[in-house]
Every structure is written in C-alpha cells, then in structure tokens.
Amino acid sequence: MKSIAITLPDGSKRTFEGSITAQQVAAGIGRRLEEAAVAAKLNGTVIDLTKTLESDCELAIITRDSKEGLEVIRHSTAHLLAQAIKELFPTAQITIGPVIEDGFFYDIDCPKQLTQEDLPTIEKKMAEIAGKKLDVHRQEIERNEAIKLFKGMNEHYKAELIEGLPQGEVVSAYKQGDFIDLCRGPHVPNTSRLGKFKLLSVAGAYWRGDEKNKMLQRIYGTAFSSQKELDEHLHRLEEAKRRDHRKLGPELELFSFLPIAPAMPFYLPKGAWLFNKLVDFMREQTSKLGFEEVICPQMMTTDLWVTSGHMEHYKENMFLFEQEEGHAMGLKPMNCPGHASLFKAGKRSYRELPLRFSEYTKLHRNERGGVTHGIMRTRAFSQDDGHIFCTEDQIQDEATKGIKHTFSVYSAFGFENVDVKLATRPEQFLGSPELWDKAEKALADSLKAANTTFEIVPNEGAFYGPKIEFHIKDAIGRSWQCGTIQLDFSLPRRFELEYTDNQNQSQTPVMIHRAILGSVERFMGILVEHHAGHLPLWIAPVQAVLINVTDAQLDYAQTLLETLKSWGIRAGLDSRNEKLGYRIRDAQLKRIPLMIVLGEKEKTAQTISVRKTTGETTNDLTIEGFRKFLEPELKPGGTHH
C-alpha cells in the first residue's frame, strides 16, 4: 500500500498509508478542526473535503470562519435555495446561483410571480432540508450524458449551459438528497455544515444578462457561519437603508431625478452648492500639486475614440451621433483622450515634464438602466480627473506625492480607514515585462516612501499598466473604491505622444491617470451615507439656523443673521408661527449642524445658545466667543455634527 506525505501550512508533514480524504486529514489533526472544516486547499486549489488524496501534496483545511470558507458556505446555501424552490414549485427551472459580495443569488424561471412575502416560506423549506443533514456528493458526467440528464429533469437552462461546452468535456454536478445541480464546486460535505442564512429580496434578471432573453426572477440572500455574524450584517443592512442617499438626497433638498433625463441628476440649490464645493475644494488641492486645469469639448469626432480604443472596446457605453456631413461624434465618457490630444498639440520638451492636466467637466456613459443607482452610478457625472505626463524616472516621485495627498483629502471628509491595493501585471498586457517590473517597483516604492501599508493584488492591473487603488471604509464598514493612481504605457503610444529628452532624442512619456474622489456625484452619495446626512460643518450647505422663541427676539435674530452672513456662515432664520419644539425638530430632520435658539435671556445679554443635532448644547456664548467656537470647525476636517 502506497504511503502519502501531506505537508500542512505550518510546514509539518503527516504520512498516511493508502488514499485518504481531506476530511479524514482534518479529523486526524483534531476534532475541533474537523468540525469547523468546510473545504480544503490542495496544492493551492480549493477542493471538497470528501476528495480523495492519492499522492504527496500540500494541504490546508478551510474552516467556516475564513473568507474562503464563507464563500463555500454561501455557494452551498445557494444550492439549498434552489432545492427548496424545486420542492415548493416542482415545475420551476433553475439557472445560475453564484456567490456575490456579502451573499449570493439564484436566478429561477418560476411559474409563480414571487414577492417579498414568499421569502419566509422558502426560508422555512431551506431550514427543513438543511435539518435533514444530507450528504453532498460530487459527480462527474460526460457532456452529452449531462445534457440528456438535465433535459430529462426539465432543466433546459442547465442543458443550454452544458451545450456551450466542447464535445467530450466532463462536467461536475452535486447531489444532496434527490436534488442535483450543475456546479464546479466545492461544497460543504453535509447540509448540517451550512451556516445561518437569510433571504433578502426578489428582483428581475434577464437570462444570461441579455435583454432579448426571458426575464427570470432573482432571489438574493446571505449566509454567515454564525447567527451573531448574520444579525450584525442584517443590522448593517438596516442602517444602510436609513442612510440611503436616494432617500436622504431628496429629503435634504440636494438632488432629484426627472423622467426627462433618465439616470442624470438635477441638483437643487443645496445640492448644487455641495457639488460645487467638492469641485472647488479639489481645484484648490490639486493646484498645490502643480496641476493646471483644462477644459476639453464635451463632444469629439469618432476619430479620437478610434485612436484611444474606445470605439473598439467601449462603443456600447457611449452616446454617439451622426452629423449631416457624415462625421460621427461621441460624447466623451472619460477625459484621458482629450488630455492626450492637448499634450500632442504642442512640441514638448523634457523641461516641461511632469506636465499635469486636471479637468472637472461632465462625462457621459450610456449605462444600462439596471445598473444605474441614484447618484452613485449615473449617465452624466464629473470626475476630479487628472493626468500627469512624465518620464519613467519621475513616476515614483509623482506617485508618492499623490498617495500622501489622497490620504489628506479623505481625512478632511472624515474617512480615516483606507485600504490600499497595488494591482499588478495581468496575463494580457501591453509593453515589455521589464517595463512592467520597473513600473510596479516604482509604485511599490512610492507606497513605502509614503509609509503606506498595502496589499498586492496579482494580475489585477489594467492591460495598459499597474495601478494603486484606494478603498475607503464608511461608518458602517462598507468599502468604496474611489481613488486610483494608474500608469499607462498604451495611450501615449496610441496617440504617438513624444517629448524631446536632454540628448535631443524623441521619447514617449508615461501617462499617469489619477483621481481622488473619482466620480464627484458618487463621492457625494458616499459622503451623505457615511455621515447619515449630518455633513461636517465646513461642507454643510446650511450650517446654522436661528430660531427665535417669540416675536420679541425677531429683531435680534435678524441682526445676528446678517452678522453670521458677513462672516461667511451659511445661515437661515426660522421665525415661523410654530412651536419652538416643532422648529427645532424640523432643523434636526434637515440635518442642519447648528441651531441657535434665541430667547429673551439671550437678547438681553446679547449672547447665543447653540444646540447641535446630537442634542449637545453650549449656552451663553458672546458673539465673539461664538466666532472662536466656529473657527476650527469651518476648516476642512472640522468635526461639528
């Protein structure tokens, strides 16, 4: 009998006589590990616990509390959902059910139009099936046999997927009880190993994402390894609903959407002020780094978009128009081709480099209706866009300055928790491996020079160059990718950009794409949700409201209002014939940071009483004392809420 040597993650080795499963290895290490195991990793590939190991290998046990373990649990729970659907609605057909961020979904063709009210019934059936502690078995079936099997089960969508595979291909399926589903796996070995789950919503989805195909029903759900983790996630979801910018935006009179311009926001005065404040703040910030603002046309001929590659790779997302002369024009979806054209318009010398352009004009992308989302993803938006044209030797210095600056901007808006990732060369790339190695090292060195902790994400760079990504975390732990620093070797070559070096030789510059906020609209939405509408004082569209207790204080209130306005404070006066409590509550609902309540005592003493939306009060401030009270909070990064 052949012995098998298994190397564990800590470097230790265990020898077994004959074949053995990953689950048996886990049991041999310890009972707790075996109970927590949901899958394994064989020589770096995730496998089922029940897979037989037949030769020397490296093995790691994947437990339910790990990221990979959670994916296995969620994938297996998606199958549990499909099984429950088949038991409740036998004529339903199941299609695909992948793991997504924070959960999973399954698309089904069901004879019954499902609603939110149906989800508890489906959940109950799922729990009932899981409680039977069914073993989960992997089967491998030849392509033609698999087609016959699934057609015989009235699963024509599954059969269609298999028909797309080459002849002779072997497919895998998983069986639990009487239910069988097409899947690569891996899965938990028994339904008793599933975690705690919750079905969240029902939506529509076209088969294979194609609008020409049948509309299916998509059930979203989530699963965690414990009830505590599930409860915490559900609480975050409720908090996210409360903070939803699509609800708060209209309530706070920031923006609205009208049918005359689908997925393009209309900004009300307060929203327009906030948008302009964000842009003006970034103008001021980027000018310190040597950026010069340019303005390129909104619409340019398709010759430009052919050169840039957009007509080949991005045409369906562009708004294109035919002109009478036969020339086609396209609304710009991004600024880089225009900036490259500006660089090319003049003769450039190494003495001008780095040359930095910034721009904030509107961009337009023909996003599908199903993916637009409030002001987070729109068809018309602006970016705090910047492009740096530089030499290879200047990359590190430019990137280091950009990294430090990005952190300072996020901090000003109250984002202190930022994850940084360095995405490296993908399998398909432009340029030489040596150039990529140099570029990746320059970005890594710049991150180290900026004392930044970062994660390397292998093979995730763009085809034209590596990139640094900045992921900000909001108040309820959600991660948003906003800022990027991207190196581009492709566009300068496509546009035949040149500069003359100190030897009077023509060279091609490197192009660095950089943004900190990303989409200004999207960042505004993130900002509103992060602060639950309670924007920091320095960036609140209305900073203070004066509330007089009776008409006897009206003159004092109006005089004080003019004083505040002369200081540059964005203040208003609420002297409506309503009860004091009602007006205070109204100001709180509008998320106005400061309420200045003026009674007879304040009028007589010529003082101010300030109430924050948190309920905290500061009484008996003199006018000058109030000015000093405000000063630190009126600067970016100020904390008054």
Specify whether domain 3-63 bears CATH 3.40.225.10. Answer: no
Instruction: Say how far apart CA 354 and CA 393 lie, in whole Å.
Output: 10
Task: Give the Cα-Cα-Cα angle 123, 127, 132 (nearest 5 degrees).
Answer: 150
Structure tokens at 431: 């340029």
What sign has the CA pseudo-torsion 377, 378, 380, 381? negative
Condensed to tens digits (0 to 9), the pLDDT of residues 373-432 reads 999 999 999 999 999 999 999 999 999 999 999 999 999 998 999 999 999 998 888 778
Active-site entry in 387, 401, 522, 611:
387
Condensed to tens digits (0 to 9), the pLDDT of residues 422-458 reads 999 988 887 788 888 888 998 999 999 999 999 999 9
Residue with token string 């010529």:
606
Question: Where residue 287 falls among pLDDT bands split at 50, 70, 90?
Answer: very high
Active-site entry in 109, 181, 385, 488:
385
pLDDT for residue 639: 59
What sign has the CA pseudo-torsion 527, 287, 467, 497? positive
**Where is average pLDDT lowest: 130-134, 392-396, 429-433, 581-585?**
429-433
> Strand 179-182 to strand 170-176: parallel, antiparallel, or no bridges (unpaired)?
antiparallel
Residue with token string 């998983």:
174
Residue 83: active-site member:
no
Tell me what the pLDDT averaged over the chain comes to: 92
Region of residue 594 (phi > 0: left; psi between -120 and 50: alpha; otherwise: beta): beta
Active-site entry in 158, 187, 513, 530:
513
Q: How many residues does the chain have?
A: 641
Residue 235: active-site member:
no
Active-site entry in 233, 339, 365, 611:
365
pLDDT of 16 above 80: yes
On the question of a cis peptide bond just before residue 354, with omega within 30 degrees of 0, the verdict is yes
Active-site entry in 110, 183, 336, 482:
336
- Note whether 68-241 and 255-296+332-530 share their fold: no
pLDDT for residue 326: 67
Q: Which amino acid makes up residue 350?
A: Y
Q: Mean pLDDT over residues 545-559, rounded? A: 94
Cβ-proximal residues to 594 (8 Å cutoff; 6+ apart), any chain: 537, 543, 544, 545, 610, 611, 612, 640
**What is the CATH architecture of 255-296+332-530?**
2-Layer Sandwich (3.30)
CATH number of 68-241: 3.30.980.10
Question: Where residue 462 falls among pLDDT bands split at 50, 70, 90?
Answer: confident
Condensed to tens digits (0 to 9), the pLDDT of residues 243-281 reads 999 999 999 999 999 999 999 999 999 999 999 999 999
Cβ-proximal residues to 212 (8 Å cutoff; 6+ apart), any chain: 206
Question: Where residue 133 falls among pLDDT bands split at 50, 70, 90?
Answer: very high
Active-site entry in 245, 467, 478, 591:
467
Instruction: Say how far apart CA 486 and CA 489 lie, in whole Å.
Output: 10
pLDDT for residue 465: 85
pLDDT for residue 19: 84
Strand partners, 99: 104
Q: Mean pLDDT over residues 125-137, rounded? A: 95
Alpha-helical (H) ranges within 381-460 are 395-412, 433-449
Total Cβ atoms within 10 A of residue 426: 15
pLDDT of 614 above 80: no
pLDDT of 640 above 50: no
Condensed to tens digits (0 to 9), the pLDDT of residues 206-238 reads 998 888 899 999 999 999 999 999 999 999 999
pLDDT of 197 above 50: yes
CATH number of 537-634: 3.40.50.800
pLDDT for residue 113: 94
Residue 296: active-site member:
no
Residue 336: active-site member:
yes
Active-site entry in 93, 176, 383, 553:
383
pLDDT of 641 above 60: no
% pLDDT > 70, the chain = 99
pLDDT of 1 above 70: no
Q: Mean pLDDT over residues 492-520, rounded? A: 95
Total Cβ atoms within 10 A of residue 220: 18
Coil vs helix vs strand at 42: strand
Q: Mean pLDDT over residues 552-564, rounded? A: 94
Residue 112: active-site member:
no
pLDDT for residue 324: 63
pLDDT for residue 423: 94
Residue 231: active-site member:
no
pLDDT for residue 633: 84
CA distances 55 to 15, 39, 166, 455, Å, are: 11, 18, 30, 34
Question: Where residue 635 falls among pLDDT bands split at 50, 70, 90?
Answer: confident
CB 464 within 8 A of CB 493: no
pLDDT of 516 above 80: yes
> What ranges do the domains of the chain cover?
3-63, 68-241, 255-296+332-530, 537-634
Residue 13: active-site member:
no
Q: Mean pLDDT over residues 59-86, rounded? A: 95
Q: Mean pLDDT over residues 196-212, rounded? A: 91
